[in-house]
Amino acid sequence: MSAATAGVQILPPRVRVRWKIFLLLAAFGLVGFLQRNNVPVAGYRMMPDLSLSQMQLGWMVTAFIAGYTIMQFPGGLLGQRFGARIMMVAISVIAVLATLTTPVAPLLLKGTALFAILVGAQFVLGLAQGPIFPVSTGVFEAWFRTDKWSLVQGMQSMGADLGGALAPPLIAWLMTILDWQQALAWTVVPAVVVIAVWAWYGRNTPAEHPSVGAAELAELDAPVPGQVQRTLPWRDALALLGNRDVLLLTFSYLLMNYVFYLLSTWVFLYLVQERGFAMLEGGWLASTPPFAAAIGAGVGGKLGSMLQTRYGVRTGLRIVPLIALPAAAVLQYVAIDAPNGYVAVAAIALGFAAVELTEGPFWSATMHVAREDSMTACGLLNTGGNLGGLIGTPIVAYLSGHHAWNTTFLLGAACAVASGAAWLLIDPTRRAVPAPSATS
């Protein structure tokens, strides 16, 4: 055997298949956040054009969160039943159609009927996007070792935050050269591309992918990981619903997500209404916190994996939330007390980064508790997380509509502190459901 031949056999490929699968799932998160954040930005033009109040815009955002929240747990169950490959295509096609409904509906309807359709479109968009992260979690559980779970979860959140960061400047810029309808319509183009590539290349598990060889399988926790895909029995689903650590993680994530929705959805309006920035400058400045959040999510995921390796799962995954969430509370207070808008933007950006440092630990801890049932357990986790947005969004809409922005941020500070405190009671090493047998 020649040296060249030996080199080919010994040296691994430059990019493993699992990282290509990860990039596609991260792209789904990015596109999803671009779609979900386009209406709050376009709302600046939609409100006068369609005679909508800020409270009505708030109800549109709430409708999205309601649909998104409702489909978290069922989406995880469906993902375990049908597999990630089919689920991601189906829900993403529905999301594209729902996104297009918002710019098209005003061409056909007016008044109450139009508002009902706009709210309905956001609700359907939420339903369609709900399963993205729970289903992705099941893919990560099958494709990556346990010490990488926090990393890939944090990096997928990074992709999602980049989508949120792109929305304000992109939609604001498009609205300066096009009307808001065309601006929203253009956001479906990247979604169609990602759907097509995933339908061709994506697979549920490494064992199913034709490009995955024995070397890559050997690098994972099991000889043939994820070869058996099980439908979750009801008794195990009930065990997840009643598990102490899953419930504590869900409660903590609910509180954290009040802050997340405040900083991801409402910053643009805060900057143009409270701080007096012009629309285009406000759009660019409003992208700063999501960009900072994206960096925070990636760094937090990496830190979670490193600390887990050094200190163990229980201690290692706690460290980041226990530090980052109180820091986020302090930074929100700094933002409202800032002497000028630019200092406020900097404080909001750092606060959002601190919040997103915790994404990897939250999702990885839930995966450790649930293992093979990670899709369903993380669906429950994200149900709680989005209840934070569902409860908080009408509150923020009402308070901001009455120029009480400071109160919205003080509530966020309190939620961040309480969310961090809950981690003192969480132990990710306690498994919720016994390991399934080979025949289950």
How far apart (Å, rounded) are the C-alpha atoms in residues 17 and 398? 47
Fold for the domain defined by 15-220+231-425: Growth Hormone; Chain: A; (1.20.1250)
pLDDT surpasses 60 at 424: yes
Task: Answer whether 87's CB lies under 8 Å from 204's CB.
Answer: no
- Residues 175-203 have pLDDT tens digits of 888 888 998 998 899 999 999 999 999 99
pLDDT, residue 233, reads: 61
pLDDT in tens, 277-293: 776 666 677 778 888 99
pLDDT-derived band of residue 140, with 50, 70 and 90 as boundaries? very high
- pLDDT at residue 41 greater than cutoff 50: yes
| Angle (CA) 109 110 113, round 5° | 75
Cβ–Cβ under 8 Å, residues 304 and 151: yes
Question: What pLDDT was estimated at residue 367?
Answer: 94
Read off the pLDDT band of 418 (50, 70, 90).
Answer: very high
Domain ranges of the chain: 15-220+231-425
Phi then psi for residue 209, to 5 deg, are: -90, 125
DSSP class of residue 144 equals S
Residue 228 pLDDT > 80, yes or no? no
Per-residue pLDDT, 147: 92
Element housing 60 (H / E): helix 54-70
Tell me the average pLDDT across 221-229: 45
- Phi, psi (5° rounding) for residue 437? -75, 165
The string of pLDDT tens digits covering residues 301-328 is 999 999 999 999 999 999 999 999 999 9
Q: Assess whether pLDDT exceeds 50 at residue 66.
A: yes
Is residue 140 packed enough to be buried (19+ CB in 10 Å), middle (13-18) or exposed (0-12)? Answer: buried
Give the burial class of 11: count Cβ atoms within 10 A of its Cβ; 0-12 exposed, 13-18 middle, 19 or more buried.
Answer: exposed
CA 349 to chain centre: 17
pLDDT at residue 208 is higher than 70: yes
SS3 433: coil
Question: Encoding tokens for residue 202?
Answer: 């994506």
The answer to whether 264 and 282 are in contact (CB under 8 A) is no
Question: In this model, does residue 347 exceed pLDDT 60?
Answer: yes
pLDDT at 162 over 80: yes
Residue recorded with tokens 């699968």? 21
**CA-to-CA separations, 363 to 33, 146, 294, 416, in angstroms, rounded:** 18, 12, 16, 17
State the average pLDDT over residues 138-166: 90
Place of tokens 């910053």: 267
C-alpha 304: how far from its chain's center? 17
Please write the tens of the pLDDT for every residue from 351-402: 999 999 999 999 999 999 998 888 989 999 999 988 888 888 888 888 877 8
pLDDT digits (tens, 9 = 90+) for 116-134: 999 999 999 999 999 999 9
Tell me the CB-side half-sphere exposure of residue 425, using CA atoms within 13 A: 15
pLDDT at 65: 84
Contact 125, 33 (CB under 8 A): no
> Is residue 1 scored above 50 in pLDDT?
no
Q: What SS3 state is found at 371?
A: helix
Name residues whose C-beta falls within 8 Å of residue 314's C-beta, 6 or more positions apart in sequence: 427, 428, 429
Dist. CA 39–CA 29, nearest whole Å: 17
Question: Is the pLDDT at 206 greater than 80, yes or no?
Answer: yes
Q: Are 388 and 254 in contact (CB under 8 A)?
A: yes
